[in-house]
Amino acid sequence: MARGFAIKRLPGFATVAIVCFVVLYLPIATLVAYAFNSGMSIAIWEGFSFRWFVAAWHNEQVIETSLRSLNIAVIAASIATVAATMAALATTRTNPYPGLTFKYAFINQPLMVPEIVTAVALLIFFSRIKVWTGYSGLGYLIAAHTAFCIPFAYLPIRARLESMDLTLEFAAADLYATPWQAFKRVTFPLLWPGILSGFMLAFVISLDDVVITEFVKSGGQDTLPTYMLGQVRRVITPEINAISTVFLILSVLIVTLFFFVSRKKL
């Protein structure tokens, strides 16, 4: 191969790429930096301090909405992961059967419809149910979150299952394992990383949701994102940066974990 002529090189591409990476991280980096500002401003640096983290920690609404977010995310992601695992077992490692395509379309539907559309549809449907039943608890939010978490949990679980063949399950059956025993002792341990990835993805998606939550929530049911959405319209202090920073760290930790778990080979 001829030296001195880099066939992969295209002039200007690397520059644009580097600019893109800088631009991707610059706003986030400034947001995080100003969380440590000792002044009231989100634009004028006055010195380093943790005061806004302390302020956020002592803000009852922040704590309350954070706990509600975590609560909803844990429940919704758990139900979604169980439902998605069962659905993945039902839709992989088989010859095509009537309804298989229908199931794929159905499970992936929440990905296809714009969030705002699902949000107002749920608002219409749930407000009617609220009138009929009088119930206005967290159940609506949990149901809505579970539904849009299912396709996200389903993706990694299905991917994992597709890389596993049925040989080991057949071997278990030959050794007189019942289907349940075979699942518990063979399939589940092998599938576990996929299930964990699915759960983490669903958890992050639920935690991040603004639009659907904003429309489905009843009074006093703000989650951290909807609380923040309400706050950023007012006069803002670096407190919101401090909350965002903690939120970001949590997301990055989960995503990093997800990266390593989902890369684990069979």
Partner 1 sequence: MTSAREIGEAAVREDVRTRWLLSAPALIIIFFAAIGPLFIMLLYSFMVKGDYGDVKFWQFSLDGWFKVILERDIFDDTVTLADAHLSVLWRSIKLSLATTVLCLIFGFPTAYFIATRSERWREVWLFLVTIPFWTNLLIRTFAVQELIRNEGIINSLLLRSGVIAAPIQMMFTDFAVMIGMVYVFLPLMVLPLYASMEKLDFRLIEAGYDLYAGRFQVLRRIIVPLVKPGIIAGSILVFIPALGAYVTPRLLGGGKSLMLGNLIDLQFGQGRDWPLGSALSITLMAMVMIALLIYVRSASGTGARHG
- We find the least distance from the C-beta atom of residue 194 to partner 1, in angstroms, to be 15
Distances (CA, A) of 33 to 24, 47, 50, 196, 255: 15, 11, 11, 33, 22
107 binds partner 1 (CB under 8 A): yes
Q: Which of 54, 61, 103, 170 binds partner 1 (CB under 8 A)?
A: 103
89 binds partner 1 (CB under 8 A): yes
- We find the least distance from the C-beta atom of residue 25 to partner 1, in angstroms, to be 8
- We find the least distance from the C-beta atom of residue 171 to partner 1, in angstroms, to be 18
- We find the least distance from the C-beta atom of residue 144 to partner 1, in angstroms, to be 5
Q: Which of 48, 50, 125, 135 binds partner 1 (CB under 8 A)?
A: 125
Q: What gap in Å lies between CA 161 and CA 184, rounded to an integer?
A: 15
Q: What is the DSSP letter of 48?
A: B
Region near partner 1 per CB under 8 A, out of 7-15, 60-68, 161-169, 184-192: 7-15
Please provide the DSSP assignment of 51-115 as one string: HHHHHHHH-HHHHHHHHHHHHHHHHHHHHHHHHHHHHHHHHSSS---TTHHHHHHHHHHHHHS-H
- Asked whether 242 and 56 are in contact (CB, 8 A), the reply is yes
Q: What gap in Å lies between CA 116 and CA 212, rounded to an integer?
A: 7
Q: What is the DSSP letter of 232?
A: T
Scan residues 135-154 and list those touching partner 1 (CB under 8 A). Answer: 143-144, 146-148, 150, 154
120 binds partner 1 (CB under 8 A): yes
Scan residues 43-82 and list those touching partner 1 (CB under 8 A). Answer: 43-44, 79-80, 82
